[in-house]
Chains A and B, each alone.
Chain A
Amino acid sequence: MIRLVHVEKAYGHGAARTFVLRRVDLEVRAGEFVSIMGPSGAGKSTLLHVLGMLDGDFTGEYHFLDQAVHAMRPKERADLNRKHVGFVFQSYHLIDDLTVYENLEVPLQYRNVARKERQALVADTLDRFGIVAKKDLYPSQLSGGQQQLVGVARAVIGKPHLILADEPTGNLHSDQGREIMELFRRLNDAGTTIVQVTHSEQNATYGHRIVRLRDGWVERAAPAATAASAPAAGAAAAGPSPSGGSAAAETH
């Protein structure tokens, strides 16, 4: 579904030029659930924006469903995004001045879904996520967990093939986070491809495999099972970072 070949991205200019992504090669197959991990500033969010076709300012190749995204004009990229991608953000990014119902409606409006159908889809989704009672509330009237639930609902309402999640549980208490991850697992089981950025090894275990980023480089793609159990000594050896020796992944 997704194939990145030597994707690079840099900010700034001249001497102050800093690379955010370095020669990233990545493949995600349809139906996969991939976690991207790495320290802050490693380029995780940037990679997610490139995948989501929000950011077209990179070099290298990006093939999405066998279409060459890197060769597209911004408008075509936006169309592709609209058709196939749903986003979930760490800080939810619900629109403050819209009710829950209206927030769910927004992506459908931009997809030119007819009014009748829109109503049906929103009602259906509210039902599926168990938030019918909240439909007339504004985001500020919800708890963080509830807001993220709406955030996920908004991401899936357009029936995207791919969900991109940027630290979806970062602002949540641990049990709320668990609920969201369970939700992702169910969505994935139902066939949606998911790529999430996370800091939490625990959340990463919900996925099939982990892609580690450090200073813009992809360190290694490891199956989730091994990543959770084995310390990443091997990963450090494989990584290009000079200071990789201290990259033990223990949490306690």
Chain B
Amino acid sequence: MGDLVQDLRYGLRLLLRNPGFALAAIVSLALGIGANTAIFSVVNTVLLRPLPYPDVDRVMMVWDSNPSRGWDQFAVSPGNYVDWEARQTAFEALVALRTRSLVLTGHDEPERLSGLLATAQFFDLTGTPPVLGRAFTAHDFEAGAEHVVVLTDALWKRRFGGRQDILGSPLTLGDEAYTVIGVLPPQSSLPTGAELLAPLVLTADERQHHGAHYLLAMGRLKSGMTTAAATSAMRDLARQIEAEHKDSNTGWTVRLVPIYEAVVGGIRPALLVLALAVGVVLLIACANVANLLLARAATRRGEIAVRAALGAGRGRLIRQLLTESLLLSLCGGAFGLLLGTWAVDLIKTLQPGTLPRAQSLAVDGRVLLFTLGVSIVTGLLFGAAPGVLLSRASLQGTLQQVGRGVRGRLSQRMRGLLVAAQVAMSLVLLVAAGLQIRSLARLLTVDPGFDPANVLTFKIALPDRRYPDDARQAAFYERALADLKTLPGVVSAAAVTSVPISDDDLIFSFTVEGRPPAPPEEERSANWYAVSPDYFGTLRIPLVRGRLFTDADAAATPRVALINETMARRIFPGQDPLGQRLRMGVDGQVVREIVGVVGDVRHYGLDQPVTMQMYEPCAQRPWSAMTLLLRVAARPDTLAPAARRAVLAIDPGQPVSEVRTLQAILDLSTAQRRFTLVLLALFALVALLLASVGLYGVVAYSVTQRTHEIGVRMALGAQRGEILALVLWQGMGMTLWGVLAGLVGATALARVMSGLLFGVSARDPLTFAATVVILTCVALGATYVPARRATRVEPTSALRYE
């Protein structure tokens, strides 16, 4: 025990007396371990920590699916759901869900809450019934039953102060009276992030409807049922339904997706790339420490030999060296943990909201264990090798330099190899980051089809009870637009059913008048929008042909429509679309005449292809939920309070929600990519830094090792420039090998990365070339410092002998 303390004290003193060495090793390890701790925390939270459902692997999302039309996971039609519920054999619980935003009134200012309607088996599915109050009963789902609602813990605490007497109290939601019957446990959350849960009651009409898809469905597999078996059973069922409802169900089948997959599937490729990246960073860090230890081992050969001569046994020596390297790696681990915790906070603020469960991101016991493990393993691994090497050397009784030349060169070569590997690995990371940067740059040059600057958007959803018919809905929006236009700073105001670059969409099938009806599997459909006349002017979507909507296109005038260029090209190749007539959507009897063609808009994001789009005037086809858009002179966000007041002035029970600028919506669509990019670039920089420290260390060490040789060369008349070139070439040689290996590695990486790229080849020559240039310059810098030192070697060292 006393010996251990002695070893520790000596190890500590060595670190303190070689602060450069200690700093390089500890910083290397801290960076490597810190990056891993941070990313492991994310992986741990997002991928490893179970979702809040018992037996989560049995919980599935169930989708309608129409592969021939490119709809892999599509919302479920109520008719299909009702048929499944009655006939399926795969699930022990099957639930249909529908999101419903509900306005809470009667408490302060009206607030729009995100609600979820669910069918009867919901709590059988989740396995987490309310902690307070009761779950739903069959009675709650009967037509005409009293409206009941279950609150999440978060809403309960936020809006009702966690009052126990909330049970049984009335709540006004969307002008209807509800009774609170339960509160969910704190750790459970509702799908889609909803705060309220209410029974979903399908009307008799809906239960027959197979063509309109607007439900979510989830199921819990019977125990012992595999996903494959369940999929096969559900597909059999889908074929039966297809046979029964040819007109609506031709081409439709079912797709099952494990809930885990649904939640984290989107983020996983990015996380895998990041995990790979930090793994590489740690490897580079370890190579650095190994290099440092090897270099030090060589300089300590004398000391170790003396200790052996004074009677130290081999085990004793190895123990001392291991104590030292463990001390080093634990110091590195401690700083790494600090760095990691800090990085986790950074990730939390940096992440764009697309990272599932980001708020529960934390350094927990498992992360601590991981960090400790990584530290100890690196310490043992990279301390043991030089330790054994040294202690063996000591036993050969070499107090002189017998045999030193050969072993010295061997370990020098090994260090060269380590550095080449470091260079190669940082090249791979730099290429990865470079490709991401190029992708983002490409993405940002993509024209969204509209001008996002200086536009404020917010949503309004009119409750059916107070706005039961088209006329009243149209009147509200007409009034709102007129009032909003008068606000100071507002240039123009418009309304649209679903704003571009968002998950909101409405897709209607359509037919062209005068063409024979297409068979159901070839049915064409397009994004559909109802807009106010100023929509195109407000978003600056260009008119290509014909005319835009005007105030004259009213409920009573002939029905008109606009289509985008893509639709014009696809549906009317070589024809004039103007004057053609379309039938669309549910009211398929009505015919609209195409009066104009407008520019394409990228509805689903900059990296997604342009879809076919068709527009109708909202005066002719009113809609209860619309997004309002205000183009303002400057600083759209400052207008939000005024806009909110203007709407409340029309209807005091009508809140606005999701107040955002259009630019923010656009930014959010690239945020995930930016997030990955920032982290990847950070890791690539850390890797570059570590590799250059490694290169510096090896060249600097080799210069001290070669002092004698350099002295000899100077004695023979070498000029300083020649010595400089000698050392630079040595460093550049290692770099060259590393670059070559790195290029091979980066080409292989292309396969992993290609899914994350946009508009740039995974073998983009510009990225590769730029990376090589950057790396070479940094390597040259790292080599230059010790090379300069080499030129200052005293020629007299040629005469010195150890």
Contact = CB atoms under 8 A, between A and B. Distances in A.
Contacts of A54: 308-309, 397, 399
B303 A96 contact: yes
A133 to B, nearest CB: 22
A86 B420 CA distance: 45
Contact of A74 (B311, B316, B395): B395
Contacts of A109: 3, 6
Given A109-B3, A110-B316, A93 B311 contact: no
B444 interface: no
Interface stretch (A75-83, A186-194, A216-224, A239-247): A75-83
A111 B302 contact: no
B6 A55 contact: no
A49 interface: yes
Contacts of A52: 309
A74 B402 CA distance: 19
A75 to B, nearest CB: 7
A98 interface: yes
Given A109-B3, A110-B316, A115-B2, A87 B400 contact: no
Determine the interface band of chain B, counting residues with CB < 8 A from chain A. 20 to 34
A98 B10 contact: yes
A97 B2 contact: no
B306 interface: yes
25 contacts: A45-B399, A45-B400, A49-B399, A52-B309, A57-B396, A57-B397, A78-B308, A78-B313, A78-B314, A81-B309, A82-B311, A93-B302, A93-B306, A93-B399, A95-B303, A95-B306, A95-B307, A97-B14, A97-B17, A106-B310, A107-B311, A109-B3, A110-B307, A154-B310, A166-B399
A89 interface: yes
Contact of A106 (B307, B313, B399, B400): B307
A94 B397 CA distance: 17
A129 interface: no
B312 interface: yes
Nearest to A45: B400
**Which 8 pairs show the lowest CB-CB distances between chains A and B?**
A82-B311, A54-B397, A55-B397, A110-B311, A93-B306, A107-B310, A110-B312, A87-B309
B13 interface: yes
B404 to A, nearest CB: 13
A89 B399 contact: yes
Contacts of A106: 307, 310
B402 A11 contact: yes
Contacts of A11: 402
Contacts of A56: 397
A94 B395 CA distance: 19
A110 B307 CA distance: 9
Interface string A83-113: 0000101000111111000000011011100
A49 B397 contact: yes
Interface in B468-508: none
Nearest to B3: A109
Contacts of A94: 306
Contacts of B14: 97
Contacts of B396: 55, 57
Nearest to A164: B309
Nearest to A83: B311
B328 to A, nearest CB: 15
Contacts of B399: 45, 49, 54, 89, 93, 166
A166 to B, nearest CB: 8
Interface-central residue, A52, A55, A93, A115, by most chain B CB under 10 Å = A93
Interface string A30-56: 000000000000000100010010111
Given A81-B309, A97-B10, 13 more contacts: A49-B397, A57-B397, A75-B314, A78-B314, A81-B311, A93-B302, A93-B305, A94-B306, A97-B13, A97-B14, A109-B6, A110-B310, A110-B313
Nearest to B402: A11
Nearest to A155: B310
Contacts of A78: 308, 311, 313-314
B313 A75 contact: yes
Interface string B273-308: 000000000000000000000000000001101111
Nearest to A151: B306
Contacts of A95: 303, 306-307
A55 B314 CA distance: 14
Nearest to B309: A87
A111 B303 contact: no
B756 to A, nearest CB: 50
A164 to B, nearest CB: 9
Contacts of A93: 302, 305-306, 309, 399
Interface in A164-222: 166
A58 to B, nearest CB: 10
